[in-house]
Chains A and B, each alone.
Chain A
């Protein structure tokens, strides 16, 4: 198994050992693969996700059978919803004990069925090279996703006569179509040329296929304005004149306004989930036409009715669009209207004295970091503040837009940092999400990772509290986090320097100082509980 990982060029794995995965860990111990010990298995999967997104190749996580494996599930499900390439390896009880409810036995391939792209329960040691080869291939190609390999302990212990790693994969039933059909591309081009008010909606598929620069080029050639979904943030630099921001229930008003008046949407690598388009029927009822480009045919037409479907890899389809679009440019009226919209809906932010204003701070954060910085946002208000206010230049924005798993940001940052060591990696989370994965501060210290963590502390589960204000008569059932521990003292107990601030001025002062250091830091920002998610 270790040789298989080496053959796949894996340099880092994230995991947590246990009895049934010990033979694998024992071999890993002698290898040159960096094995990172997390503090809970779920975070191994999130770290592998962060690594995968940073490196654009499958991340690997490992856990033991039973509880180790079931703890992985949330991380695997998160990767599935966010289309992250991942290979998860779990130990399993001895083959002859399978199905007998033996100690630490769980049917993990069965349990993960709805959240894995594919899974294997390995029955013969000789099958391991083929299974690993297939798993990495399936995880990384087509629409990426997690693949689970469950290996009983005796299969790990058996010796095989000779190790030969297959060079190619032959799966009769799996041949993802990556090349967009040229006829469809040409039909799309015709439709774009007829459109008076076209828009591009870009999603995570553009980033995962590495088509970011091609999409920018296409937008610039045609001057078509660009919106992004949450997973697509980073497709365009935030300050790009053609970029209108994130769409959807928590998106920017100018983006949503533009979407309401468009006559053609070019959807690129996005599935248009219910957070992006809350009322898809309205969209197809009016005269808006839709071109949908995605690698996964099942996403096309699932949420929104489509006029021209193009199944293919964004990179390939974008190239074909650029070749075929000619010198088409959008008309001046639409251009002017979009610019107006953008100027008109500048968010005015209200502030609270004696507190940090998180949106203003996040708006300035990027200028204090290197241009290629990676921001890992958690889930909740902090995620929306980051999505709408972080000004991406050449860097990346990692968050879980599909699954929305609290506690994602810290382990994700660990993976991202280990994948791209030279990048600035910053976490923004809330005090709720921080407490879901604060145990990983140990992993940060043990691996000397220079990760800066900004905790937006409002003593609330802010997003749910906001929901309660709007829909449940302000009854704050179980969303108050009073009596939580002193985070500064906690960070220091882990051996990480930390400070608490209650004004933007102080926060900026600290950030400017800590980015110079190569040590991790936890900056706790006091945020007023009434600070809203948007506007």
Chain B
């Protein structure tokens, strides 16, 4: 089961190493981790997508809470949050196939951000599921490189993560 956690931390040196060290030390498996500053410049927000059962994710929450610079840990509830990941995909693409790839991009709402003689690069900001659909669609042309930011997530409606 996948869990999405929003973690507010003090925006200071060493916090990310404390958080990431915890995962390896305690044997937690994480799918992605994305970090950036919040509206309050002294606070950063880390979004973690982790894999595990209820016991694992509860331990993960509690151990994160024990780290002194961690202000708040919130488990986002399935169906009640919006998640996005930004992805750049460089596809092998000779001129003859270029139109096909552009068509797929249009269909999926991805943006063409770079075109070269033998490659075409797509920018895609979507959910993890949509991203894997796009990757499947362009895979037959040959993928040269993929860069992903990791998932970020926000509550739907009025709910929010506050320190």
Contact = CB atoms under 8 A, between A and B. Distances in A.
A133 to B, nearest CB: 14
A297 interface: yes
B59 A173 contact: no
Given A297-B65, A298-B62, A302-B59, A113 B70 contact: no
A336 interface: no
A117 interface: yes
B65 A138 contact: no
Contact of B17 (A110, A173, A296): A110
Contact of B9 (A118, A173, A302): A173
A114 interface: yes
**Size range of the chain B interface in the assembly:** 20 to 34
Interface string B78-90: 0000000000000
Contact of B10 (A110, A173, A301, A302): A173
Interface string B1-30: 000000001100010011001000100000
A109 interface: yes
Given A114-B25, A173-B9, A298 B163 contact: no
Q: Which secondary structure dominates where chain B touches chain A?
A: helix
B105 interface: no
A173 B11 CA distance: 12
Contacts of B150: none
Nearest to B26: A114
Interface in A149-178: 171-174
Contacts of B10: 172-173
Contacts of B62: 297-298, 302
B128 to A, nearest CB: 29
B31 interface: no
A113 B66 contact: no
Contact of B68 (A114, A173, A297, A301): A173
Given A172-B71, A173-B71, A298 B21 contact: no
B63 interface: yes
A138 B21 contact: no
Contacts of A114: 21, 25
Contacts of A138: 68
Interface in A270-328: 296-298, 301-302
Contact of B70 (A109, A173, A302): A173
A174 B62 CA distance: 13
Nearest to A123: B13
Nearest to B42: A172
Interface in A110-132: 110, 113-114, 117-118, 121
A282 to B, nearest CB: 17
A118 B69 CA distance: 9
Contacts of A173: 9-10, 68-72, 163
B58 interface: yes
A42 to B, nearest CB: 22
B47 to A, nearest CB: 18
Nearest to A119: B14
Contacts of B70: 173
A298 B68 contact: no
B71 A113 contact: no
Contacts of B69: 173
Contacts of B63: 298
Contacts of A110: 17
A146 to B, nearest CB: 13
Contacts of A298: 59, 62-63, 65-66
Contacts of B68: 117-118, 138, 171, 173-174
10 contacts: A110-B17, A113-B18, A114-B21, A114-B25, A117-B68, A173-B68, A173-B72, A298-B63, A301-B55, A302-B62
Interface of A: 109-110, 113-114, 117-118, 121, 138, 171-174, 296-298, 301-302
A-B CB proximity, top 10 nearest: A298-B62, A173-B71, A118-B68, A174-B68, A298-B66, A114-B25, A113-B21, A297-B62, A298-B63, A173-B69
